[in-house]
Every structure is written in structure tokens, then in C-alpha cells.
Amino acid sequence: MHSASTRQSAPLKGALMLKPTPPPWRRLWGTGLTTGIVLVIGLMLGHLIWGIWGFMGGFTSLYVQNQPFRSRAVLLALVGLGLAASMALGAFTVVWWHMALALAFVGAGATYFTGAFDIPLPASFMFILTACISAALPLHPHNIIFIRVAAVLGGALVAWLVGMADWLYARSRPLATPVADIYRALAALAAALGTARQSHAAAKAAEAIVNAERVVSGGQDPWLRHLVVQGNALFRALMALASHTSSPLPHEWIRILRQMAAHSRQASPGRLAVTLPPTPTDNPLWRRWRHTMEATLSAFERPTPPAEVPPLYHPSPLEKLGNAFRRDSLVWPAVIRMALAIIASVAIAHLLGIAHPFWVPLTAAAVLEGVSTVVVVERTIQRALGTTFGLLLTLGLTSLHPSTLVDAGLIVLLQLGMLFFIAKNYGISVVFITTLALVIIDAETHPPVFPMVVARFVDTLLGAATGLAAALTLWRKGSSQRLDDAMSRAVRCAGQLFEAALSGRSDLARQRSELLSALFTMRHLYETALGELPPLDPDSVWPQILAIERLGYFVAALNPEKADAPLSLVDKVHPVFEAAAQRLEGHRYIPVPRVPPMPGYSAIEDTLWDLLESMDLAPKGKAQSS
């Protein structure tokens, strides 16, 4: 983890780095097709500018992701409505403070919903971009805003149809990809057992399981749901093995897991021509692993799962909206910071006499999309450099006085360039974003080119400075300040699952999913805290993070069918978990009881001791298991 700290402490290097992220081909062709259709419709109606407005509704295509088509249909519809609302709200530009409040409302609302539902980049940015472009356009004739909103809704409808086109020929493919990710992550974990990579590999496998449960639980494919259940069972069996082995699994097992990943992507049942290698017959953990692998191979063959397969747990939309306000959540600080930064940027621009300051809040909002302070600094550098080159490109293109038909072609090419580079290097993507926005504005208003470019350059510097100042002053240590709460929640979830397994309760799937989610949140906060300025000292918390993760994974690995501990153990264990959780929350004077002997659960007992020792809470003289 020290390498992560070193890497994240060099924002200039990160700003110039080109990440080896594969191009998002599905989004590229979907976005290109959507943009082409709406522009052609505008031409056919004799108003290309309507097609350009509809193009902003076509931003909906950027939010296509792997999820059940029913969920995708709802998400894309809500995105389209949100873009139309952003277009309408962005038109409130008569008074500067109207603009400040309208753009702040769009920024805060989009940040909240995209954060609560874990919607990846471009996340809230396209809503803010649409509102800011709307703020830059004239409001005459009096009914023009209604035409623009209608055009955005039309573009969103086209994007919805293109986004749902997969349903016609690949109905299971969006669900198959996250299922394959589970088995690929399990192969990496099997190869990392007993090495320094085990902790990271276990976290990646847990993240893959949580993501697949989120996606597949809402789908209509029972076979893929069965594979997710078996992937979870394999993960637990593998972590049980990890508690008693100090070396990676033989390569034959890793190869079989990779074959499972490849077969999952085909989204259709079928027999895997594999032979399981021999395992020690006198070791119950190896017997469990082999039995789980046999059951998983059987699951690949049968299209309908047996009746006893447990359902997947997935939080409801209301739960997700509520989770954004948990003490360990970064969503609500991001929402407030976004709103305050946008209001401040518009106010500062007004005080400096900038007549149409829409570009200032847009830049501030773009900078604040970063997940940590170092990433915000990176995005500030990328925004400044990208905008500079984008303005030069705009100057060159608009000086040629392109026709409306050429403008339409430029819009398609610029949007594809933005999308191609957005995950590789945000700065390169900004070149296309800048040129795209200004080409749209130029196509309607035809302002003097050079003054527009100079004004946008000044606006960029002002907006970047405002966004950076907000990041450095508002919740600058947000991740590290929430890390203790996340660690406490993970310990409490592990304790609750352990007690439920010992008591033979039936809600284990839900509690296991909540535990994995809590462990994922904890690690995410830890890694983003390493990117704060100054960064978190990894030596101060990494031993606790590692102990909590090991404890959580060992508890998740419990086989409830084999639980034979006396119920009195529940009463003895609960105070230990609860006291550790409260100490992590900052209650320094909560007494921590001695860890009781746990016959049959030595790995959990040892890891509990490791956790208390990492917190300097372990009493002298460790109890001996009987």
C-alpha cells in the first residue's frame, strides 16, 4: 500500500499519464449512432440546430452500463428526463444569482443521484454541462426554451432506443460480464494466496461479487444468478483455505477458474471439459473446496438452478438513497461541496464583471469530480492544459466559418474523441469537451471567435482555481475522517454475521452482502485517504485495515451448515465485536473483554486477537482454545 501513497502523491505525473484502459466500444458506437440519428432528424426537419439541441439529450447514451435491461430502461429514462430538466434550469440567466442557484441545484442533484446509485463517469458532469450550455444560449423568441427541452427529450428517446438495442440480440450479455469478473477475480485470488498480493486480490474478488449481485439480482436469468451464488460460495471456500495455507493453489485450479470466467461470458449453459486435480482427503477445508468446485461445474451445465439455491440480496433504491447519508459516505459532502463551489464560482465571476460566467461553474464542477484531493489537483492541471489546447482547436475550426453541416460532423467526431479518451486521460478528453461545447454555442450564436476564446481561457483559470480551493477547504480530509466509521461498520457487520451463523439464522445472504460491501467501502476510503493532502500515513491504520479485512473474509467464509458451537459463544463474542467497533468510533474508555476460546473457529479467534493487538487493546496472556 505504500506504493499507492507514493503514486498518488505525484499529481503532475498522474495528470500526464495515459491509462491502459480499453476503449468503451459499446458506448462509442451507441453514442455515435445516437448523435448521427438526432442530427439527421434535425436536417430532415429543416432545423439542424434542433438536432444539435437533441444531441445534448443524446448524452443519455453515455450512461449505458452492464445491468438488467429493465433497470437500464429505467436508468436511461431518468437520465433523459434529468438532462431535459438541466436544459430548462440552465435557462435561468436573467439575474446572476438565478444562474448560481439553478446550476447549483443541477450540480448537487446530479452528484447525489449518481453517487447514491454508483453511476461511473461521466457521472454528474453531463447534466452540469447541459445546464451550462443552456445558460450560454439566448432566450429569444420567448418559447425557445420549450423547443430546446423538447429537442433534448427527443434526443434522449433516440438514445434510449439505441441503448436498449442489445435486448434484440444479446439479452444476457450485460449480465454475463460481471459474472465472468467474479471467476476472473477468484483465479487471481487463488494465485495470490499466501503472498503479499492476497489482501488486494481478496478485496477485488469481494468487489466483483458485490457488483455482480447488484447487477444480476434484478435480471431474469436464473442460470447467471446461480453462477453468482456459486462464485460467492467459491470465494468463501477459498478464504477458508486461506486461513490454513500459506501458498497459492496449484496452477490446475487457477486454469479451471479462468475457464469458468471465459465460459460465463458466453451467457449459455454448457459442460466444461475439465478434470479436477486431486486434493488432500483428510483436510475438511480442502474437501469443502473440492465439493464447491464440483457444485459450480454442475451449475455451469444446468440451465435451471435447484430449488435450494438462495436468492441474491440487492439493496432497494430507497436503501441506496438513504445509504448516501451514512456517516462513512462521501456522497453528501460531495453534494454540498459541489453546490457551494458552483454558487461561489458564479458569484466571483459576477463580482469580476464577467457577463456570461457559465464556463466558470462548469470548470469548477469538472475539477470536483475527482475522488480525492490529489485527483482534484490532477484534474485541475488536466482541465487547464486540456482547455488551452481545446480553445486553440476551437479557434482554428471556427475561424474557417464551417457550415452547419460541417458543424454536425464536428459534433459527432468531437463527442467520440471525448468518450474514447475520458477513461485514459481526462486532460485529452477535455480538449474535445471544450471544443464540443464551444462549437455548439458558435453554431447558434456566432459570437466573435477570438474574444470568446480569450474569455473562456480566463473563465477556465478562475473556475479551476475555485474548484481547487473548494477541494482544499471543504472536507479536504473527508476520506480519512470517515475511515474510522467505515472500519467500525465493517467490524460490526462481521460480528453480526458471525452471530447469525452461530445462531443458525436464515438471513445470512443479506448480512454477508452487507459485510462485503462494508469491507469494500472501508478499503475505498483508505485508498482515497492516501490521495489527500497531506496524505494519510498508511502505517497508522494499515495493520487495522488488514486485520479487519482478514476477520471479515474469514467470517464470510463460515459454512453455516457446519456450525456446531454452543449458543453461549454468541453471548461471549458479541461484547468483543461491539467494544472493538465502539473503540474505532472514538469511544476511548469502552472496556474491551478478553476474546473467548472458539473451538472450531481458530482462524477467527486469531484474527480477532490480531485486530485488538493492532489497536493496542489486546490484554496480556492470550486465552488458549480448548
Are residues 436 and 297 located together in one domain of the fold? no
**Contact call for residues 242 and 193 (beta carbons, < 8 A):** yes
Q: What is the Cα–Cα distance from 164 to 30, expressed in whole angstroms?
A: 10
Residue 445, pLDDT score: 75
In terms of domains, do 446 and 493 share one? Answer: no
Peptide bond into 534 cis (omega under 30): yes
Q: What pLDDT does 567 receive?
A: 63
Q: Which helix (H) or strand (E) holds 224?
A: helix 222-242
pLDDT the model gives residue 132: 93
> 39 lies in a domain?
yes
pLDDT of residue 619: 56
Q: How many residues does the chain have?
A: 626
Q: Measure Cα distances from 66 to 177, 212, 217, 218, 262 in Å.
A: 7, 10, 12, 12, 17
Residue 407 lies inside a defined structural domain of this protein: yes
What is the structure's pLDDT at 506?
67
165 with 283, same domain: the answer is no
pLDDT < 50: residue spans in the chain: 1-9, 620-626
297 lies in the same domain as 222: yes
Q: Same domain for 275 and 340? A: no
Whether 377 and 233 share a structural domain? no
Shared-domain flag, residues 113 and 178: no
Which of 443, 473, 503 is the endpoint of a domain? 473
Task: Please give the Cα distance from 288 to 235 (Å, whole number).
Answer: 12
Cβ(275)–Cβ(287) below 8 Å: no
605 Cβ neighbours under 8 A, 6+ residues apart: 595, 597, 598, 625
- pLDDT for 10 equals 64
Rounded to whole angstroms, how far apart are CA atoms 613 and 493?
Answer: 20
Q: Which of 206, 197, 242, 243 is nearest to 1 (CA)?
A: 197
Residue 292 is part of which domain span? 173-301
Query: Total structural domains in the chain?
Result: 3
Phi, psi (degrees; rounded to nearest 5) at 383: -65, -45
Show the cell assigned to 21. 484502459
Distance (Å, rounded) from C-alpha 616 to C-alpha 358? 53
Asked, for residue 624, whether it belongs to a domain, the answer is no
Residues 76 and 203 in one domain: no
pLDDT at 1: 42
Longest dimension (CA), the chain: 85
Please give the single-letter amino acid code of residue 124.
Answer: S
Instruction: Record the pTM.
Output: 0.87
Q: Does 321 reside within a domain?
A: no
pLDDT score, position 412: 87
Give the pLDDT of residue 379: 87
Q: Is 43 found in the same domain as 153?
A: yes
115 and 182, same domain (yes or no) = no
Q: What is the pLDDT of residue 621?
A: 46
Boundary (domain end) residue, out of 473, 496, 518: 473
Instruction: Tell me which residue has cell 459516505.
Output: 329
Alpha helices in 422-562 (DSSP H): 426-445, 449-473, 478-503, 508-529, 538-556
Angle (CA) 49 56 61, round 5°: 135
Other residues' Cβ atoms within 10 Å of the Cβ of residue 94: 8
Domain identity same for 18 and 148: yes
Tell me, yes or no, whether 623 lies in a domain. no
Let me know whether 69 and 85 are in one domain.
Answer: yes
Burial (Cβ within 10 Å: 0-12, 13-18, ≥19) of residue 466 = buried
Q: Rounded to whole angstroms, what are the CA distances from 279 to 211, 224, 491, 554?
A: 31, 28, 33, 21
pLDDT for position 11: 65
In a domain, 313, yes or no: no
CA dihedral 233, 314, 556, 205 (to 10 degrees): 70
Nearest to 460 by CA among 385, 376, 369: 385
610 falls within a domain: yes
Instruction: Give the integer Cα–Cα distance in Å for 415 and 375.
Output: 24
**pLDDT tens for each residue of 573-623:** 889 999 999 999 888 888 888 888 888 788 888 999 999 988 876 554 444
Helix (H) or strand (E) holding 532: none
Residue 212 maps to a domain: yes
Cα(482)–Cα(246) distance, rounded to whole angstroms?
A: 33
Domain boundary among the residues 473, 498, 521 is at 473
Identify the DSSP state of 1: -
523 contact partners, CB below 8 Å, separation of at least 6: 203, 545, 549
